[in-house]
Chain A
Amino acid sequence: MTVRSSGAFRIIAEAILMGSLILIGVVHCSHMNSSEVMLDSYGFFSESSFEGEKMRWAWRESYMHVRPQTEILGMSVWVPPELVQDAPLELAVMLNDRLLDRRIFFEGGKKSGYYVVPDIMRSQHVEVKFQANKTYNPFRLGFTRDATRNREQSAAIGDIRFLRIMPFQGLGFLPPGGADELLRKQCRDMPDGFRWTGRRATINIEQEIPKGAELVLCCLHPDIEKQPVSVEIEIDGKRSQAIDFTSHAAQTIAAPEALVAGARGLTLTASRTWNPRIEKITDDDRDLGIALAVRPY
């Protein structure tokens, strides 16, 4: 079949092509103006496997959109030792532009973090953003001969995970470290069995707070007198109260029974954290928020 180029077929074909182009242009414009999530993530490079988990290398700033499945979200971060050999890496995690955590990494390796954020279940998509204070180019610095890694990258970040069950021992509490002794010395009212939180931690109410119990809180920020620390308390995502700390003295609060009854998680959020290693007080490299102990009735 030979088709005449000057015939009606050609005109129809050209008209269809032009029509398609106009349609495509109009639809692109409408997508630009709509609030639809077209950009799923940005600031990520190719993935590598770390301790059995696939993670994507991130740029200085990166974000990803996720569909919340539960109110407990978590992620793993791989900090390359090369990146922190001169100075620590500071990584801020933000949820819908709200600061969720700020961690300082002195050593390389895989770290995980979990956060209870009940209000994320209200939206279809949430934006999890990561901001690193430094990047490095592994190819240019000679750490790899792989030319595809000729790029400025910070840490590698795993997929966002969602936990269905709150762990017995809560979430966001730090393992014991050098600052514990300091707390015992400076804050004598603190009962034994205290735990340090990061910027944000959640207690499993059912498992850890018996009826009528009290919570003992203490902050050890070195500059607390000049810059008070505010601790916000939420119960299942609802703001319960806020406490301001202007000294290293412990404060005791009674667990509000009416709210605690039937509730799952009590979340404490410190307005800021401090790092004993950066402050040159101890070798403890944890980012400390609040020391917390539960004193039974």
Chain B
Amino acid sequence: MSLIADKITGLFTSPCNGEDARASWRRNWEKVSSIVFNGITAFNFLFFLLLCIRLVFVYLYNAPQSYFYIGCVGAIAVLVVVFFNTTLSFMIFIACIPLAGGLFSCGILPFSPLNFGFAVLFIAWFLKNIKNLRRLCCMNVKPPLLGRLVDTLSFIAILSLVVTLFRYPWDYLLYNLTTYPNALRNDDFFILTATFVMVEGLMLYRMFTLDDVLARHSNSFRKLVYVQAGIIIFFIGLQFLFHYPPMYSQFYGLYSPFTDIHSFGSITLFYFFTLLISVSKMDDRVQQFLGVSALAVLFIALIFSYSRATWIAFAIFIAVLIFRGLRHKGAIAVCAAVLLGVVLIINAYPSRLLKSENVNVRRFGSAMVVSSLLEDRNVLGRLFWIDRALRIVADYPITGIGLGRYYGNPSQFREFSDALTRRMEKRVTGPAVKEMKKRRENVHNYYVQLAAELGIPAVVIFCAIIVAVFLQGRTLIRNNVHKNFFKGTLVGLGVYLFTMLSMQPLYLPDQSLLFCFFLALISMSHKKFTPQAACRSL
């Protein structure tokens, strides 16, 4: 005990010769904060390791015999590749994220192997770096504040998981932890899946930013974005041309290689804008041709995505890019007037669009015509879901109710607020309101849902991470480090974050991994190309 007490008192040293009290206080603070945050980092790594081991065990234990052998061989192969060439294994994994989703959506795989694959990759990476754990957890170096933000968010999610799991009876908890790998969003234990999905993304970010070997190859990882775009285009072609898998609504509603039209729309927008800005500055004719072809396919995919939020986000960001590109104030005013005029004409004569025989045109009309939008059941429904989420935030502002638990429609929040119900009953019938109360749904706004499930501090930290990454991206652009690519990536991320106002794509493993990979790509490049700035900036 005295040894521990000595260690603690030893942390707080009095000013050295020539050092003023302020500098001494700062030195002591840095010691305390490094112990707290390094402890959090180490805890996150170890807890996530346990989650990964559990996931691998449960997947293999519950898999049919053929999948058990395939899983074992795959896991051993990943372990071997990671030990011999970590960078290669990560490159294969990152490139294969859309591929895994595509094989699952086509029905070739019975479940998406992404979580399993990432768990094996993490275990292998952890084992390989176990000697460097102390260094990885930043015991000796002062990590960037961004890393601490990411670790804190992971820690909040893990804490919420642990607290929620302890509320369940032990036998049920043990049963679920040992035998049930596929908790769906209706299941009680979806909190385990939701937390794993969120933390795996954040861990991917930390692995990329902590491991110097990976950070050295940031340029190679950057090129993987084009490989991913190629794989996505392949699956889009397969679904669009051969209806494999069938589209959401006969000829509309592309979603392959992802799981639903909305998340497909979000990520396709990201690739579209990244490619658009990269291709516009390319010198090589062949690259330009390939880029323009890819853009054309992605544009068609966006049209046929059937997701109104995707269309609206696309229109807004394209308009902003055009206005920025025009520079001439008169031209901007003319363009804005034309756009406004088109919108007004559509709203003045809505029947041509709303009564069209083409489903896609009708859908487009319902997004453009304000009166139709205000009557739309899906739009009104979102007001109800947001109202419910805000009441959860009011009751649990600091902790939320646990990741992934909103969808279960907790009984104490099933009723909507009286004001909203009164207002809505004028637009929708009583039975429809009753139906909405019973319905299990997501908020359709990631930020509000995150606040309801993990508390306001988590949303603030999430937003701080985004801002910090955007600042890093801006530093890269200012230093002309792959300027067009990172400009495109930032715009792409901006659209993606905008679409999250009406969707929640980050609850899906492929989206979470891709999103965090893009964040990591910016941070890695920032760390590699601007070492001086890295010391000074976030």
Contacts and interface: CB of A to CB of B under 8 A. Distances in A.
Interface of A: 1-6, 10-11, 13-14, 17-18, 20-21, 23-25, 27-28, 31-32, 37-47, 56, 59, 61, 64-67, 125, 145-148, 150-152, 159
* Chain B interface category by residue count: 35 or more
A279 to B, nearest CB: 32
A148 B63 CA distance: 11
B538 A41 contact: no
A66 B538 CA distance: 48
B288 interface: no
Nearest to A45: B187
A151 B155 contact: no
A152 B175 CA distance: 9
B167 A148 contact: no
Given A46-B187, A67-B412, A14 B33 contact: yes
B470 to A, nearest CB: 11
A28 B162 CA distance: 10
B222 interface: no
Given A25-B159, A125-B411, A2 B186 contact: no
Interface string B165-201: 0111100100100011110111110000000000000
B35 to A, nearest CB: 11
Interface stretch (B94-102, B142-150, B209-217, B367-375): B142-150
A46 B29 contact: no
Interface stretch (B325-333, B358-366, B529-537): B529-537
B399 interface: yes
Contact of B180 (A32, A66, A151): A151
A67 B411 contact: yes
B152 interface: yes
A61 B172 contact: yes
A46 B186 contact: yes
Contact of A40 (B182, B410, B415): B410
A24 B168 contact: no
B455 A42 contact: no
Contacts of A47: 186, 440
Interface string B12-25: 00000000000000
B448 interface: no
B188 A148 contact: no
B186 A20 contact: no
B182 A147 contact: yes
B168 to A, nearest CB: 6
A2 B182 contact: no
Given A23-B398, A43-B172, A152-B179, A3 B538 contact: yes
A43 B188 contact: yes
B37 interface: yes
A258 to B, nearest CB: 38
Contacts of B37: 14, 17
Contacts of A39: 164, 167-168
Interface string B236-259: 000000000000000000000000
A5 B457 contact: no
Interface of B: 26, 29, 33, 36-37, 40, 62, 110-111, 142, 144-145, 148-149, 152, 155-156, 159-160, 163-164, 166-169, 172, 175, 179-182, 184-188, 396, 398-399, 401-402, 405, 408, 410-412, 414-415, 438, 440, 455, 457, 461, 471, 475, 533, 535-538
A17 B468 CA distance: 15
Contacts of B410: 40
Contacts of B405: 40
A5 B401 contact: no
B188 A44 contact: yes
A18 to B, nearest CB: 6
Nearest to A25: B159
B533 A2 contact: yes
21 contacts: A2-B471, A4-B536, A5-B538, A11-B33, A14-B148, A17-B148, A20-B152, A20-B457, A21-B155, A38-B167, A39-B168, A40-B411, A41-B408, A42-B168, A43-B172, A46-B187, A67-B411, A125-B412, A150-B181, A152-B179, A159-B438
A146 B471 CA distance: 45
Contacts of B412: 37, 40, 65, 67, 125
Q: In this complex, which of A6, A31, A38 has the most chain B Cβ atoms within 10 angstroms of its Cβ? A: A38
Contacts of B33: 11, 14, 18
Q: Which 6 A-B pairs have the closest CB atoms?
A: A46-B186, A40-B410, A46-B184, A20-B457, A27-B398, A148-B182
Nearest to B457: A20
A37 B413 CA distance: 11
Dominant secondary structure at the A interface:
mixed
B402 to A, nearest CB: 8
A23 B412 CA distance: 24
B148 A42 contact: no
Contacts of B36: 18
A46 B62 CA distance: 18
A118 B322 CA distance: 67
Contacts of B160: 28
A40 B398 contact: no
Contacts of B155: 21
A38 B163 CA distance: 11
A152 to B, nearest CB: 7
Contacts of A13: 145
A114 B538 CA distance: 62
A56 B186 CA distance: 8
A6 B536 CA distance: 8
Given A10-B145, A24-B457, A32 B163 contact: yes
B57 to A, nearest CB: 14
Contacts of B399: 24, 27-28, 31
B103 to A, nearest CB: 14
Contact of A65 (B169, B179, B411, B536): B411
Nearest to B464: A13
A11 B22 CA distance: 13
A146 B64 CA distance: 11
A237 B179 CA distance: 43
A144 B169 CA distance: 29
A190 B341 CA distance: 84
A150 B182 contact: yes
Contacts of B142: 5-6
A3 B142 CA distance: 15
B369 to A, nearest CB: 32
B62 A150 contact: yes
A67 B414 contact: yes
A45 B187 CA distance: 4
B516 to A, nearest CB: 19
Contacts of A152: 175, 179
Contacts of B401: 38
A64 B440 CA distance: 15
Contacts of A64: 411
